[in-house]
Amino acid sequence: MDQTKTEREIAELVGVSQKCVNTTKLNFQATSRVHNFGNCGRPPKLSDRDVSYIFRLVRKNPSTSYRQIAAEFNSKFEEHKISRETVRRVLAKKGIESYSAVKKPLLTLSDRIKRYKWCKEKRNLTDKDWAK
């Protein structure tokens, strides 16, 4: 039983133009795929491997600046140079953004003594005592 339909019948059945059906059919015959290719825009400067190298640098030392990361990357990979803005964009895409550390005063001698005394007081407390 032959169930082939014409392009016009398919277009009416699906609710699209005959041109759309024809283009989709030609794309499928040429590439064995139905979807459109997203080959517009500039190709990415960094490969997935480059991006993972930048992440390793950040994980190794989270307090490293964007400029230092870019300099280390550029010294290791000669084929392409990146700026600190490129590093910032790559990390921001994955949810890593820069934050300034909160400035806190160092512990004074009296603070350390108070902490030590507090710890000695509380060291024998049970879980029930801490739950209060």
pLDDT tens digits for 61-120?
A: 988 999 999 999 999 988 889 999 999 999 999 898 888 778 888 999 999 999 999 999
Full residue range of the structural domain in which residue 89 is found: 48-93
Residue 103, domain member (yes or no): no
| Cα–Cα distance, 66 to 72 (Å, whole number) | 10
43 vs 69: which has the higher pLDDT: 69
pLDDT at 2 over 70: no
Residue 76, domain member (yes or no): yes
To the question of pTM greater than 0.85 for the whole model, the response is: no
Name the one residue in this structure whose structure tokens are 């049970």: 126
Name the one residue in this structure whose structure tokens are 């991006």: 51
Residue 117, domain member (yes or no): no
| Cα–Cα distance, 71 to 36 (Å, whole number) | 39
Residue 99, domain member (yes or no): no
Quote the number of domains for the chain: 2
Do 28 and 1 lie in one domain? The reply is: yes
| Cα–Cα distance, 57 to 91 (Å, whole number) | 11
Residue 17, domain member (yes or no): yes
